Amino acid sequence: MRPTPFLPGALRKRPRTRSRSRRALLCAALLAVTVQTAVAGPALAGRPDGPGGPGRPGGGPRDCVATRGPLGEQGDRVMDIARRAKDELKLNALQLKVTLDGREVVTDALGESMTGVPAEPGMHFRAGSVAFAHIGNVLLQLVQERKVSLDDTVERWLPDLRDNDKITLRMLAGNTTGIHDYVTDPAFDAVLEKHPFRQWTTDELLGYAFSHPAWYPPGTSWSYSHANYVLLEAALEKITGTRIDELVKKRFTGPLGMHNTRNNFTPDIPEPVLHAFTSDRGLYEESTFWNPSWTTGPGAVITTHICDLARSAEAVGRGAMLSPHSYRTLLNPGTVGLGGGTATCPASICLKQTEQAHFGLGVIVVNGWLVQNPSFSGYAAIQAYLPSKRLAIAVSATKTAETADGNMAEIVAQRIAAYLSPDVPLTIDG
């Protein structure tokens, strides 16, 4: 098994493929100030699939259902695209929700969760690095409230971290620390492949990252590392005195009515479950309850459903609960221009960050779209938002034994974007 960093094709080099590649793509706020919460929160919460709509008062799977009644031309066309993609890509299940200018275009699900069990929009799946976008927003809110500065070094919160007097909160959130990614360590990869149900500790994960020297001095280049967010989450807990899952719930998912996006301290997934299957270990097998504790620090290992994923895409993408200045920082915290191969860091690791394709604070910016695209252990998803058209696309996909390598949800989202926004394509090379 050879997991690769969580990056869209526009930011990652195409990995060397095998007959059955095992990819773990986990890339990479918020209690708004009073006026922002009052304005931004209800605008999302009052929708038919939100906590103010029909179904259970607090929101839930019963509120995330297929669009009722005639879809209209756009909805019909999007579903045609989805059906063709499911067949062509040989997917087991496909969930999607698309909104345009705040209006639902379509919500639906195709295929099966398990044999004989139809997939439904309200089924929960693992969302991986989507949590990093939420955490990036939480950090920026703390900066807005002058509780911290992005350029604060972290020695007071992470006293045992190597180079903690040189590494800042901005560097952790923007992936410019130079710390290795434990996910790409062959030793880690070998253990993960053999023991997919293993419960990992933070110390074990960071041990792999720090068994290597830094790629470069902190702040001088760019390279993706899951370790950065493990450390950032730990720092935020120290800064606020609040566990990271409660912090994100208080400042982001709660105010936005995302009641089906939650942390899980065990491999369990709340019912109803979208089951996952993969050939990562050579044999096509169920992977639904493989232990995701390696994906990030405890408290940020999330599950969600497709309606919450679309709400996340829109809220993050339009900076719903951030100041205009913080939103600009979210899009580019200083990463543009960094990266590029050197004598100590190959170009395949220190990827060049350009205006067209770069990492922000927990989000990926490609051709004007704000993206997160987790893919691991048989689950694949994407949330994408285009601010210029107020277009949100959320897709989740699971595999059959014949599904090709890669994040198939990306491909579905690209095809939907090509129809709804042909002049601004979602340029992810899966």
pTM of the model: 0.88
> Higher-confidence residue: 340 or 428?
340
pLDDT at 7: 52
Whether residue 387 is preceded by a cis peptide bond, meaning omega within 30 degrees of 0, is no
pLDDT at 62: 76
**pLDDT at residue 387 above 60?**
yes
pLDDT at 69: 87
pLDDT at 1: 40
Work out the percent of the chain whose per-residue pLDDT is above 90: 84
**pLDDT at residue 31 above 90?**
no
| pLDDT single digits (tens) 365-382 | 999 999 999 999 999 999
**pLDDT at residue 429 above 70?**
no
User: Cα 201 from chain centroid?
Assistant: 21
d(CA 43, CA 101): 12
Work out the percent of the chain whose per-residue pLDDT is above 70: 86
Please report where in the chains the tokens 């709509």 appear, as a residue: 53
pLDDT classification of 224: cutoffs 50, 70, 90: very high
- Per-residue pLDDT, averaged over 73-88, amounts to 98
**pLDDT at residue 20 above 90?**
no
In terms of average pLDDT, the best of 17-21, 22-26, 176-180 is 176-180
- Per-residue pLDDT, averaged over 2-27, amounts to 41
Q: Please state the three-class secondary structure of 288-316 as a single string.
A: CCCCCCCCCCCCCCEEECHHHHHHHHHHH
**pLDDT at residue 3 above 70?**
no
pLDDT at 25: 39
Residue 212 contacts residue 249 (beta carbons within 8 Å)? no
> Higher-confidence residue: 319 or 50?
319
DSSP of 2-26: ----S--TTTSPPPPP-TT----B-
**pLDDT at residue 223 above 50?**
yes
pLDDT at 61: 73
pLDDT at 428: 73
| pLDDT single digits (tens) 229-250 | 999 999 999 999 999 999 999 9
Helix and strand counts by DSSP (H, E) for the chain: 11, 14
78 three-class SS: helix
**pLDDT at residue 43 above 50?**
no
Mean pLDDT of the chain: 88
- Lowest-confidence segment of 44-53, 130-139, 147-156, 343-352 by average pLDDT: 44-53
User: Cα 55 from chain centroid?
Assistant: 27
392 three-class SS: strand
- Which residues share a beta bridge with 109? 95
> Higher-confidence residue: 57 or 124?
124
| pLDDT single digits (tens) 307-351 | 999 999 999 999 999 999 999 999 999 999 999 999 999 999 999
Residue 250 contacts residue 31 (beta carbons within 8 Å)? yes
- Per-residue pLDDT, averaged over 15-41, amounts to 32
pLDDT at 386: 98
- Per-residue pLDDT, averaged over 122-132, amounts to 98
